Each structure stands twice: as C-alpha cells, then as structure tokens.
C-alpha cells in the first residue's frame, strides 16, 4: 500500500478531525502517502483533493467539524457518479480509502469497491463510524456521540435554571435521526421528568401527563421533557402538554448546536485509535472493513456483514430512566 485517501462524509461529528489526523499521521509514519478527499464522495467525483502530510493535520485534534468538509453526495449513489470517482482513484493511484461517517458513507464505500472489482480494478475501503446519533448497528460507539451528549446536557442545564425560576415546563428536542440514544443518555444525565424515544411507542398519558403529575405531587414546580427528534416534534408535544395538562410549556429545539464544539476526551481518544486501526487494516491488505467498538475494544469487521448488523436496544439504560422518572421523588 503506497497511497491512500481519507474523506469525511454525511453529517459532521466532533472528533472527525481527530480521526483524520490519526489516519494521516499513522500512514505517514509507515511511509504511506495520504490524500485528503474534500467534501465527501463528491470530492472523489470532482477531483477535489489535497495532499496531506504530518503537519497538515496539526492543531485540529481539538476542533469540531471537519477540515476536509463533508457532504451527502447524490451523484455517488448512481453508477455513473461512482465511475467518475473510480477514475479519480486511478489518476491519484489510490490503493485504499478511509471513509469516516455513517451508514450511508459505508454503503457508498462498498458500492465503489464492488464497482471497481466489476471493472477489473481494485480499491480497498475501510469505514470509521462517526455520527452524533450513535446509530451504527455494528459499533457500540460512534465518534461524536459523547461530545453531542455533553453539549445537549450543558444547554439543558441552562434551560433548567430559567425553568426553575419561572416554575415552568420545558420541552427540549434533541437530534438522533431515527434513534433515541442521544435522548436516552441526555435524559438520564439531566434528570428529566419524561423522555420520549422512537424505540418505545409513546403513550402520552402514561409517559408525559402522568409523569408531570407525579413530579408535581412530589413537590416539583418545574418539569423537563426531552424528546428525541425521531419520537416526534417538541412543538407538538408542547401543545399537547398545554392542552392536556393545562400548563404553558416553553419549547426548545437544540438543533445543529449539538453537532459542533471541541470533542471530548472520549471522542478524541476513540477517533485516534480508530484512525490508527483503519490504516493498519488497509496496510495488511484487509479491505472492505469497518472499524468498530465492541465492549470497549476496537475491532475490524467485514463491511457487508457489519452493515447487516442491528444494535440491541439498551433496555438496561431505559430501565434506569424509567425508575428515575417514575418514582415520584423530587425531580432534578
């Protein structure tokens, strides 16, 4: 392996830069050249790249976002787009690509590698899971999740101050796409009154009205309801609380603020280990792999098998949440 490409694709996540840095520094230290592909798969289609060396990735480990920019490429979804991308791979003399992103990024990577094989050429791909949603089936953890949790917690703690002063109810929507991990972890960590996640069918009476009622009976005068975006709109939930509980909640959609910020220790460390493993995997000629965490260990899995894996819903954590939102004790 003489030359590899690295790209970030899909929604950005804090820690992507740390992963890029680890890929580049590991490659360079093994005498492998590294090319940064900009703007995700679009960069490969449009020959939008930059030669990277050890110092190109200085001072980025602490930065949110991605120095390589990111995009969700529509063109790459069709064979014509991928044919252009394969042409760029050939022109650049790439032996492999490290693709940092989510499920969609990995599906694109696999399609590229297969199309190359059909055309009689070869390109190895290795995926690194990075998304604040933590929704990648094969990996217990995805880069960016911890930072996003901490950002959401910091915001909700601030909301709590003003909700407490005004004796109000706050309804906060957190990201997560179709997954409720962010809401589940954040809900536990902020001591929410109620948490709605897409993995559990919502019974509004039981899951919201009753929980606010119990909190009120226990002496609370302010309430925090956390809604995963995949479970519904915070504005709809707020309106129902207004109509069915008779209080006047304030609604906050945290939005893209959850995607920014300096990565936490966990995200920097995980990204660094994954970036390192990704390059070693390519160098040992094991292509079409996804680097994943399984019970805290970093492993590499066959990409096709990994993409078919689903994550077990974290019932143990949900039980903690249920216990802490149901006990009628003082909330927050």
Positions annotated as catalytic residues are 133
If one asks whether residue 238 binds ligand F6P (CB under 6 A), the answer comes out as no
Torsion angle defined by CA atoms of residues 62, 64, 67 and 72, in that order, rounded to the nearest 10 degrees: 150
Q: 96 or 144: whose CB is closer to ligand F6P?
A: 144
CA separation, residue 264 to residues 152, 189, 271, 302 (Å): 13, 16, 11, 29
| Cα separation, 81 vs 83, whole angstroms | 5
Sheet holding 49-52, edge to edge: 49-52, 33-37, 3-8, 96-101, 124-129, 289-294, 297-302
Contacts of 257 (CB under 8 A, 6+ apart): 151, 155
If one asks whether residue 101 binds ligand F6P (CB under 6 A), the answer comes out as no
Q: Which of 245, 205, 206, 253 is nearest to 223 (CA)?
A: 245
Question: Exactly one of 5, 129, 176, 187 binds ligand F6P (CB under 6 A); which one?
Answer: 176
Q: 63 or 259: whose CB is closer to ligand F6P?
A: 259
Q: 89 or 128: whose CB is closer to ligand F6P?
A: 128
Q: 40 or 96: whose CB is closer to ligand F6P?
A: 40
CB 133 within 8 A of CB 179: yes
Tell me which stretch binds ligand F6P (CB under 6 A): 62-70, 110-118, 128-136, 312-320.
128-136
| Cα separation, 41 vs 105, whole angstroms | 8
Tell me which stretch binds ligand F6P (CB under 6 A): 108-116, 126-134, 214-222, 241-249.
126-134
Contacts of 154 (CB under 8 A, 6+ apart): none
CB 26 within 8 A of CB 276: yes
**Contacts to ligand F6P from residues 9-68, by CB under 6 A:** 11
Under DSSP, is residue 15 helix (H, G, I), strand (E, B) or coil?
A: coil
If one asks whether residue 105 binds ligand F6P (CB under 6 A), the answer comes out as no
Tell me which stretch binds ligand F6P (CB under 6 A): 158-166, 172-180, 220-228, 263-271.
172-180
Under DSSP, is residue 204 helix (H, G, I), strand (E, B) or coil?
A: helix
Q: 110 or 136: whose CB is closer to ligand F6P?
A: 136
Tell me which stretch binds ligand F6P (CB under 6 A): 53-61, 93-101, 171-179, 281-289.
171-179
If one asks whether residue 175 binds ligand F6P (CB under 6 A), the answer comes out as yes
For the CB of residue 58, give the shortest distance to ligand F6P in the complex, in Å. Answer: 28
If one asks whether residue 259 binds ligand F6P (CB under 6 A), the answer comes out as yes
If one asks whether residue 133 binds ligand F6P (CB under 6 A), the answer comes out as yes
| Cα separation, 112 vs 115, whole angstroms | 5
Q: 174 or 331: whose CB is closer to ligand F6P?
A: 174
For the CB of residue 11, give the shortest distance to ligand F6P in the complex, in Å. Answer: 3
Residues in the interface with ligand F6P (CB under 6 A) total 9
Residues of this chain that bind ligand F6P (CB under 6 A):
11, 131-133, 175-177, 229, 259
């Amino acid at each position: 392996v003489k030359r590899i490409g690295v790209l970030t694709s899909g929604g950005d996540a804090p820690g992507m830069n740390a992963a890029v840095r680890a890929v580049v520094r590991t490659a360079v230290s093994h005498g492998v050249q590294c090319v940064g592909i900009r703007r995700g798969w679009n960069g490969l289609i449009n020959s939008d790249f930059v030669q990277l060396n050890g110092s190109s990735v200085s001072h980025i480990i602490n930065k949110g976002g991605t120095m390589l920019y990111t995009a969700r490429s529509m063109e790459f979804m069709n064979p014509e787009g991928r044919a252009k991308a394969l042409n760029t791979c050939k022109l650049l003399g790439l032996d492999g690509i490290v693709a940092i992103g989510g499920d969609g990024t990995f599906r694109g990577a696999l399609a590229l590698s297969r199309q190359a094989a059909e055309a009689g050429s070869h390109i190895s791909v290795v995926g690194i899971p990075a998304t604040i949603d933590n929704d990648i089936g094969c990996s217990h953890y995805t880069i960016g999740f911890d930072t996003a949790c901490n950002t959401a917690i910091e915001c909700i703690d601030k909301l709590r101050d003003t909700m407490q002063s005004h004796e109000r109810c706050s309804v906060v929507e957190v990201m997560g796409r179709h997954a409720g991990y962010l809401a589940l972890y954040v809900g536990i960590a902020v001591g929410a009154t109620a948490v709605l996640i897409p993995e559990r069918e919502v019974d509004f009476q039981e899951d919201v009205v009753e929980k606010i009622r119990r909190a009120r009976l226990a002496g609370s005068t302010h309430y925090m309801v956390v809604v995963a975006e995949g479970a519904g709109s915070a504005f709809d939930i707020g309106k129902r609380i207004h109509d069915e509980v008779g209080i006047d909640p304030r609604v906050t959609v945290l939005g893209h603020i959850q995607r920014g910020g300096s990565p936490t220790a966990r995200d920097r460390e995980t990204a660094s280990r994954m970036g390192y493993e990704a390059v070693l995997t390519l160098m040992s000629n094991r292509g079409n792999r996804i680097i994943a965490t399984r019970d805290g260990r970093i492993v590499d899995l066959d990409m096709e098998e990994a993409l078919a894996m689903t994550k077990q819903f974290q019932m143990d954590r949900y039980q903690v949440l249920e216990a802490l939102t149901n006990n009628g004790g003082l909330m927050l």
